[in-house]
Structure 1
Amino acid sequence: MATVLYHLGRTAFRWRWFVTVLWVAVLGAVGFAAAKAPAAADEGFTMPGIESQKAFDLMEKRFPGAAADGASARIVFIAPSGEKVTAAGNKKAIEKLVDEAGDGNQVAAVVDPFRAKAVSTDGGTAYATVSFKAKADDLTDASKIHLERAVEQARGSGLRIEVGGDALAAKPAAGGSAEAVGIAIAAVVLLITFGSLAAAGLPLLAAIIGVAVSMTGIMALSETFGLSENTGTLATMLGLACGIDYALFVVSRYREERAKGHAPREAAGLAAGTAGSAVVFAGLTVVIALAGLSVVGIPMLTKMGLAAAGAVLASVLICLTLVPAILGFWPNAVLARGARRNSRRHRRKQARTENGGSRWARAVVRFPLPVLVLSVVGLGACAIPVMDLQLGMPGDEAKPTSTTERRAYDALADGFGPGFNGPLTIVVDAKGADAPKAAAAAVAAVSKDIAGTEGVVSVSQARFNEAGNTAVFAATPATSPTDEKTKDLVKTIRDERPGIEKDAGVSFEVTGKTALDIDVAQKVQDSLIPYLVVVVGLAVVLLLLVFRSLLVPLKAAFGFLLSVLAALGAVVAVFQQGHGAELLGVESTGPIMSMMPIFLVGIVFGLAMDYEVFLVSRMREAYVHGEAPKDAVVSGFRHSARVVVAAALIMMAVFSGFIGAGESMIKMIGFGLAIAVLFDAFVVRMAIVPAVLALLGHKAWYLPKWLSRLLPDIDVEGEKLSRRMTAPTAPAAEEQHTAEPAAAR
């Protein structure tokens, strides 16, 4: 592997114009295809294999178009203190708003609150529902403005009016500002790390090109594979973070080889053969983690994972080809100022055998057991809140109180009860009934039994389809959609279903947004262990090939589990239990987003293995070159600690930028990923890894002979390269023209 990549790096360095033009052509071709490709149709969220989805599919089949209705707006009217919405003046203002709202071009229907009896028992709250013919994304600005003006005019009557639903809901920010902040912080970190504008700019340039190629590729394939706008969010985040990190390691190794006296082209080849090998296998671990998301069985999550895996592969390819090519144009520009001038101070600095990384490693290997115990206990303490983990899909109740959707949610909960915002939809399949009257009687029996279930406050009148063989009605719980008692209620209804169906002679299923969220959370929870087994198992095999050791891959997997559990515990402590939530601007706490554990496991596992490969591969390199185990740990930290820390800070900067978003779910993702990188990079990799390797000694690198014969020798450490080149090579005649122009120096 190292030899192949060594020649690839040298070739890219020599044929820099060809490689650069090739990547420009690829970007142009993919960009042209993306510009011509039609946008993918919105297929919505689907979750095969759960009851809520089956019931939804049945509704779509028996009630054509009803299960895929357009956007809706729920207008909530709150009377001033001491008044009722039924008062003459208030009623007139509400009826006027209903009439004006119904005049919209895309409006399908408006339900008058007084005719529909949508008035609270105390008369202080009422609501009107506006249904549209088009989905929220397809609503025209004119339709939205028409409804907004009608609402504003009605507010002048003295009523407090809030609007829920998806018709006028503001879309969450796309994250562009967060990414810009992350890039800015990354630039500062790179500049401090390298002390050179060119060295800091090259990883950023490589990452931006990689993201551009991957995102235009996603857009070009959007219709073919049904990729939505959200599909590229994860690809952008990981493509940017991994692209910077991978180029960072190659550039750092190039500078190191130049400091040893190697010619530019030779240094580029050695950087590609050593650091590039680590990049390949680090990238493969990320790809495994992302592709493994398909195990969960959620089509949207599978597409996001595969798209992000493609972005990571693009980053790896650019790192191995375009980065050496750019180095060929300006071979000295990425060097520190002292190295370019070959100053005496720089030579003294290079002659030192100690730096911050090696001093830290020596301290850890001197007291490995206390460091290991403290680190494990600390992460274990952070993971304790995981025992209280509750999964769900936060809705309007998780939005800031500054939004009208949140205020509408609170007003409806106050006026009609907490369960009003999350009714259960009961779909009754009466196809087996002998006659329409028998079907109606059977549906009435089901409705009566469910109404008598403890925890149900009311049921609506059943609505039949045209054939009369399917009915739908709503059951309103006594508790809020995210309350554990609501989850228990859904389970109770389903557990009692066999008896109800036997008595009524028909079958029914429970669906609706609340039931769907519960089912999704359960399916994700059930998929977490198989996902961990698949991803961790494949990665252990991959690391076995990389390090040719039994214990190092197992130690890496154990460290990852510690860091991800600690990170998930921190997320639970803040976003569910509320500890320190106000510091992050979280106004309400609740269940953790159902996808969060899967996202955290998948993304953090890939990034954690990045640090493992980059850091431990240098230790392995020193060990196979003859150093003692503890000395090899110190050598690995001397060469890699600084760039690993820089990489971790960049990752944290990119992810932390999303904490400032208004949406609670985006805050949660940004915080979870940032804290996970903090735990994994600075506790697991910087403390637990050297402590464990110091305690294991030679055993850490043990591999049975029979297994060693079976495994291919991929030579990630570049041992074969070092055998070929025992001394720095002088600049070859063919490389003399690559020297940096005087003006660039």
Structure 2
Amino acid sequence: MSVLARWCARHRLVVLGVWAGAVVVLISLVVGLGSNFKTVADLPSSESAHAYTLLGTSAGSTETGRIVWHATGQAVDSAPVRDDVAGMLAKVASLPGVDAVASPYTAGDPSRLNTSQNTAYADVTVTDDVDVAQVRQAAQSIENDHLKVETGGQAFAPETKAGGIAEVVGILAALLVLLVMFRSAWAAALPIITGVVGVVASLLFVMVGSHVVDLSSESITMGSLIGLGVGIDYALFIVDRHRKALMAGASVTDAIGQAGNTSGRAVIFAGLTVIAALLAMFVGGMGVLTGMGQAAAVTVLFTVLAAITLLPALLSVLGPRVLSRRQRRLLSNSGAPAVSGPTSRRAHARRGPARRWAALVTRVPAPMAVLALVVLAALALPVLSMRVGEADASSDPAGSTSRQYYELMSPAFGGGIDATLLLVAETPDAGSARALDVLVTQLPSVPDVASVAVGATAGDGIQVVQVTPSSSSGAKATVDLVDHLRRDVIPAAEAGSHLQVSVGGQTATNIDIAHALMSKLPLYLVLVAGLGFLLLVLAFRSLLVPLVGAVSNLATILVGLGALTAIFQWGWASNLLGVGDGAPISYIVPIMVVGVMFGLSMDYQVFLVSRIREEWAHTRDNTRSIRVGVAETAKVIATAAVIMLCVFSSFGFSGQRIVSCIGIGLALAVVVDAFVVRMILVPALLRMIGDRVWAYPRWADRLTPHLAIEGPADKIDIPSDQVDAPPTDDLVGVAGHASAVADRR
């Protein structure tokens, strides 16, 4: 890594030119080819998928939306209203992408007309290329003081786009944090520039790749969310190490080489763990989720490449300007490393908050560990009530198009009008047909069934029955209804006949997808935890350290899931974030949070424990090693976590419920991981275990390859009265005394 970093520093113009050229080429390809994102409608093997197979269709091949109108001051079936609506529906039917329009006035179906509520609606069947905004504009062209019109349903669900002021504010907040830490505008800007360039290049690459791999448009949002956070953090670690080397007296090129050989190695290791966790999402068995994981993995790969190639080139261009004015002045005046003597170091150590905190944790490890576990348990507790599903219009933000549509429809036709279940029945003989008739007569008496309608024959021996629930698609009562139909009602009707009934429809499909993914979540957790354990074994040649890391990573993941359960399912802050009322957590969210948070937790674990391990290798004093490791990494870990908080939480205001869930869940989990898990729980547990934590069986030592994450380190001899004493420079602060000595040597 030192060779690569030095080469990039010496050939900085070539590196900058390659990155600029790559971005230009990718932009040209995107301009010429565009993107080819698509909704991947592959369904796991389930009853609803079988129902679609019987109907000869799929979840994404046909879509139906609705236009609803409510009259005031006149009857909804009066001649003036009928004339206005007829003209509007004719205009809608003539629009591109509209296949059919079923009016309540001409279809002879009284179920679409509620005269007591003065409300009626029309079903609109559309193709994928329909312009939803155009349909909405045509529908609302007849609105007046006496007629209110809204569009909604699956086909007309509003599309919200992430990006904009919230993400810009997040990046600016991260820049402010870096300014406070580095006191240098150039040093603060470097992680932002590196992270943004890596993310932009990766997203352009993903857009071109969408012509080859099936990807959904949400992959762009997921990639930018994850890439910005990890990209800025990775660059931060390298810039911080580079500055320490400069302050220790190294030349610019040597400092770049040292940073690449230490933090650069850690960045590669951390990035590969994140990529592995994202690619492991294939266990979910869904193309849309696998595609998101692949796109996010590509983004992380680009940010790692930017950190180990583009950043050294930029550091070489800036030279000593990466230091603050005070630091440059100290170097120029003294002509020596800006590290003061023992007296100054001891004075600074006495007032160093990180040193005092490290001493406290190692002095009373058991109470600190109990405190951390209590906090983690309290934050993770809501996960026990987490319910996975899909939010519906009833929980959308007040005043939104979809919420206004729901508020017109539900009083007249019930909350479950858009949650219709399709009972697809196979009736090969007369006996099965009679059994179906009996079932149809029994369905209205089933709890939470609002209405039952027998549809047209869908094929030879295939009959469709539409069951409308009383509650919305996101309500627990609707999930219970589907389970009750499948487990009790339908099997009882099928008994003694050849009747076979499959429950389908969009609502049942969402329930089946959620069940399929959640049933695989334990496997995914075991997979990522096992992967983390093995990687940490390779890194630290210990069994107990990886075990502590794996368990603590799982604790952080549970905290993230618990936080988003309270915020978005219980609705504690979902309205403040602009995504509406409490609703079930989308089935995509837990998998994404588990994968990403595993990688981020590994980052901080590696950064902390590698410094502890380095000190242990030199002193064989476990307590001192933990104290030094915590004191010297606390500032960088805390800064990195605050940056992650700024970037991830900015996506919480995107207006998209799924993106907001992932962003806020990751933001809170990262903060808890840094300040509770890494700064309290892990060091307390390592202190309680004692020297045994570094034990490693001889047979395993012979079989395990040697992996130096932080590169080869020279032995550091620090007098006992200077343990944990950092340099006096206010920027370097509590981090890096021992590493600075090593760099100087």
**1:55 Cα deviation from its structure 2 partner:** 1.9
CA deviation profile, 1:628-667 (whole Å, cap 9, x unmatched): 2222223223332211111111111111112223343333
Q: Which moved more, 1:613-622 or 1:5-14?
A: 5-14
Quote the offset at 1:449 in angstroms: 4.8
Looking at structure 2, the residues matched to 462 and 438 of structure 1 have their Cα atoms a distance apart, in angstroms, of 19
Q: Larger deviation: 173-182 or 346-355?
A: 346-355
* Higher mean C-alpha deviation, range 212-221 or range 45-54: 45-54
Q: Is the CA contact 1:625–1:719 (under 8 Å) kept in the aligned structure 2?
A: no
1:476 to 468, 475, 479: 468
Secondary structure in 2 matching 1:426: strand
**Alpha-carbon offset, residue 14 of structure 1:** 2.4
Question: 2:323 maps to what in 1?
Answer: 335
Which has the larger displacement, 665-674 or 193-202? Answer: 665-674
For 1:597, the equivalent position in structure 2 comes to 590
Q: 2: distance between equivalents of 1:29 and 1:300?
A: 27
Q: Which residue of 2 aligns with 1:199?
A: 187
The one of 498, 508, 515 equivalent to 1:522 is: 515
Q: Are 1:555 and 2:548 matched, yes or no?
A: yes
Within-5 A mapping of 1:610-625: 610-625=603-618
CA distance in 1, matches of 2:660, 2:669: 14
Contact in 2 for aligned 1:563/1:684 (Cα 8 Å)? yes
44-53 vs 216-225, greater mean Cα deviation: 44-53
Task: Report the Cα distance in structure 2 between the residues aligned to 1:286 and 1:680, rounded to whole angstroms.
Answer: 16
Q: Partner letter of residue 49 of structure 1? A: S
User: Of the candidates 7, 28, 32, which is equivalent to residue 28 of structure 2?
Assistant: 32
Secondary structure of the residue aligned to 2:708 is coil
Per-residue deviation at 1:321? 2.0
Aligned-partner SS, 1:461: strand
1:421-432 to 2 correspondences below 5 Å = 421-430=418-427, 432=428
Give deviations 1:389-429, integer Å, cap 9, x for gaps: 21110021221121121121132222122222211111223
Q: 1:522 to 1:726 in 2, by over 3 A?
A: closer
Could you tell me how far 1:242 is from its partner in structure 2? 1.0
Q: Is the 8 A contact 1:104 1:147 kept in 2?
A: no
Question: How far has the Cα of 1:107 moved from its partner?
Answer: 2.8
CA positional deviation for 1:544: 0.8
Q: 1:492 aligns with which of 481, 484, 487?
A: 484
Indicate the residue corresponding to 1:389 in structure 2.
Answer: 386
User: In structure 2, what is the Cα distance between the partners aligned to 1:584 and 1:33?
Assistant: 36
Deviation at 1:349, TM superposition (A): 6.6
Look up the match of 1:738.
Answer: none
Q: Which residue of 1 aligns with 2:149?
A: 161
Residue 105 to residue 13, structure 1, CA distance change in 2 (3 Å): closer
Query: Do residues 97 (structure 1) and 88 (structure 2) align?
Result: yes
State whether structure 2 residue 243 is matched by structure 1 residue 247.
no
**8 Å CA contact retained: 2:570, 2:582:** yes
The residue number in structure 1 matching 2:727 is none
Describe the superposition over 1:195-242 as per-residue Cα deviations: whole angstroms up to 9, x where unpaired: 111111111111112112211111111111122322222111111111
Give how far 1:56 is off.
Answer: 2.0
Aligned AA (1:46): D
Alignment counterpart, residue 312 of structure 2, candidates 324, 332, 339:
324
Paired position in structure 2 for 1:80: 72
Q: Does 1:270 align with 2:261?
A: no
Amino acid at match of 2:184: S
Q: Which amino acid aligns with 2:215?
A: L
Q: 1:588 to 1:349 in 2, by over 3 A?
A: farther
Q: Report deviation, 1:278.
A: 1.2
Cα contact 1:144–1:167 (8 A) shared by 2: no
Alignment match, 2:99: 108
Identity %, equivalent residues: 36
8 Å Cα contact 1:162-1:404 kept in structure 2: yes
| Structure 1 position 378, deviation (Å) | 1.3
* TM-score normalized with structure 1 length: 0.89
Tell me if structure 2 keeps the 8 A contact 1:464–1:472: yes
Partner of 2:55: 59
* Counterpart position of 2:527: 534
Q: Kindly state the Cα deviation for residue 571 of structure 1 after the two structures are TM-superposed.
A: 1.9
The farther-off stretch of 400-409 and 347-356 is 347-356
Change (3 A) 1:445 1:415: same
Task: Give, in whole Å, the separation in 1 of the partners of 2:464 and 2:504.
Answer: 10
Q: Tell me which residue corresponds to 1:664.
A: 657
Residue 517 of structure 1: how far off its partner (Å): 1.6
Could you tell me which amino acid in structure 2 is paired with residue 18 of structure 1? V
* Distance in 1 between residues matched to 2:667 and 2:81, nearest whole Å: 50
Q: CA RMSD in A?
A: 2.8
Once the 2 structures are TM-superposed, how far is the Cα of residue 34 of structure 1 from its aligned partner? 3.4
C-alpha distance in structure 1 between counterparts of 2:18 and 2:78, whole Å: 73
The answer to whether the 8 Å contact 1:30/1:217 transfers is yes
Shift of 1:16: 2.4
Out of 262-271 and 499-508, give the one that drifted further.
Answer: 499-508
Counterpart contact for 2:153–2:418, Cα < 8 Å:
no
* Distance in 1 separating the partners of 2:571 and 2:298: 37
Q: How far, CA to CA, are the matches of 1:319 and 1:66 in structure 2?
A: 42
Please tell me whether the aligned partners of residues 112 and 128 of structure 1 are also in contact (alpha carbons under 8 angstroms): yes
Q: 1:286: Cα distance to partner?
A: 0.8
Pick closer, same or farther for the CA change 1:577–1:550 going to 2, 3 Å: same
Q: CA separation of 1:66/1:232 partners in 2, compared to 1, >3 Å: closer, same or farther?
A: closer
Shift of 1:149: 4.1
Distance (Å, rounded) in 1 between the aligned partners of 2:376 and 2:278: 25
Q: Which of 602, 607, 619 matches 1:609?
A: 602
CA distance in 1: counterparts of 2:79 and 2:5, whole angstroms: 81
Q: What is the aligned counterpart of 1:405 among 378, 390, 402?
A: 402
Given the alignment, which residue of 256, 271, 275 partners 1:283? 271
User: C-alpha displacement at 1:188, in angstroms?
Assistant: 0.8
Aligned to 1:743: none
Aligned to 1:185: 173
Contact residue 93 and residue 157 of structure 1 kept, 8 A: no
Aligned length: 710
User: 1:236 aligned to 2:230?
Assistant: no
Select between 224-233 and 92-101 the one with higher mean Cα deviation: 92-101
- Relative distance call for 1:576 and 1:43 in structure 2 (3 A) is closer
Say which SS state the counterpart of residue 571 (structure 1) adopts: helix
Deviation at 1:508, TM superposition (A): 2.3
Q: For each residue in 1:652-711, what CA deviation from the matched residue of structure 2 results, as whole angstroms up to 9, or x when unmatched?
A: 111111222334333322221211112111111111122122222322222122211211
Q: Does 1:510 align with 2:503?
A: yes
Instruction: After TM superposition, give the deviation of residue 258 of structure 1 in Å.
Output: 1.6
Per the normalisation by structure 2, the TM-score is 0.89
CA contact (8 A) 1:86 1:123 kept: no
**Structure 1 portions without partners, runs of 5+:** 732-745
SS, match of residue 645 in structure 2: helix
Equivalents in 2 of 1:407, 1:648: separation in Å? 39
Matched, 1:643 2:614: no
Question: CA 1:442–1:9 in 2, change beyond 3 Å: closer, same or farther?
Answer: same
